[in-house]
Amino acid sequence: MHSIILDITANSPIDYMPIALQIFLAVSMVAIMMGASHLLGPKRKTKDKLANFESGIKAIGNARQPMAIKYFLVAILFVLFDVEVIFFYPYAVNFKELGTDGFLAVVMFVAFFFTGFAYIIKKGALNWED
């Protein structure tokens, strides 16, 4: 005898109806709010309102002047080391379950971390006197 196996994991289009409905409602709400603000909002077009907004600060000099690379280097190093610190969280949560192998992996990670930090210090990437 042949048995028919029903695949209950198969998705049908109706399974996506709540997602489609939520997207439709979100887009509709945005369209209604934008339309209502356009129709009901005040329409006073003065010279000051039509001028470009530059945060109230008068422009002085050229905006394309070169900046020191140190600023960008420190910003990138901050992001790099900040992201590396995030990897300590899973270890802190599961340190008992990871045991000795987990501890050795974290010690190796910290060693790489400090090696990179020592390299940055040796190259003078954080010296601002230049």
Tens digit of pLDDT per residue, the chain (130 long)? 555 665 566 678 888 899 999 999 999 999 999 999 999 988 888 887 777 776 767 767 777 777 777 788 888 888 888 888 888 888 888 888 888 998 999 899 889 888 988 988 898 877 877 5
- pTM score: 0.43
Residue type, 49: K
pLDDT at residue 70, rounded to an integer: 79
pLDDT at residue 24, rounded to an integer: 97
| CA 20 vs CA 28, 79, 82: distances in Å | 12, 37, 38
Please work out, in degrees rounded to the nearest 5, the angle formed at the alpha carbon of residue 32 by the alpha carbons of 30 and 37. Answer: 95
pLDDT at residue 3, rounded to an integer: 58
pLDDT at residue 120, rounded to an integer: 85
Please work out, in degrees rounded to the nearest 5, the angle formed at the alpha carbon of residue 47 by the alpha carbons of 45 and 49. Answer: 60
CATH architecture of 13-40+67-123: Up-down Bundle (1.20)
Residue 18: HSE in the Cβ half-sphere, 13 Å Cα cutoff: 1
- Tell me how far apart the alpha carbons of residues 114 and 116 are, in angstroms, rounded to a whole number: 5
In the chain, what are the domain boundaries? 13-40+67-123
At residue 92, the 3 state secondary structure works out as helix
pLDDT at residue 11, rounded to an integer: 76
Classify residue 8 as exposed, middle or buried by CB count within 10 Å of its CB (0-12, 13-18, 19+).
Answer: exposed
